[in-house]
Amino acid sequence: MKCSFCGKEIKRGQGILYVKKDGSLLYFDDGKCQTNMLVLGRKAAKLKWARAGAIGRPTGQKSDKSVAKAAAKAMKAEARTTAKAERAETKSAAQKAEKN
């Protein structure tokens, strides 16, 4: 078995078995992991000592959600700069019309 929080291997007869109200099982290698997950509500991906077991993926890889979020942010920034350029162009055209 592996710890549900940090991903560390748990020896047979060791660790803590936690049963949630919905019937799902969580395995913890020690009280530190149990407290961090259940009491403090921390995410393993944000803690250096627990990253190895975070969501079952190696560190350094971005999730699909974070990639999509970054793409949306880039599109929004591009749209903002385009709108700003259009406003400046409209303003300069209006100033030229006033001069003539």
For residue range 15-44, list pLDDT tens digits in order.
999 999 999 999 999 999 999 999 999 988
Backbone angles phi, psi at 26, to 5 degrees: -125, 135
Backbone angles phi, psi at 17, to 5 degrees: -105, 120
Domain boundaries, the chain: 16-56, 62-100
Alpha-carbon distance of 91 to 100, in angstroms, equals 15
For residue range 65-82, list pLDDT tens digits in order.
777 888 889 899 999 999
**Would you say residue 100 has pLDDT above 80?**
no
What are 27's strand-pairing partners? 17
3-state SS assignment for residue 69: helix
| pTM check: above 0.75 | no
**Would you say residue 61 has pLDDT above 70?**
no
Distances (CA, A) of 6 to 19, 23, 45: 18, 21, 9
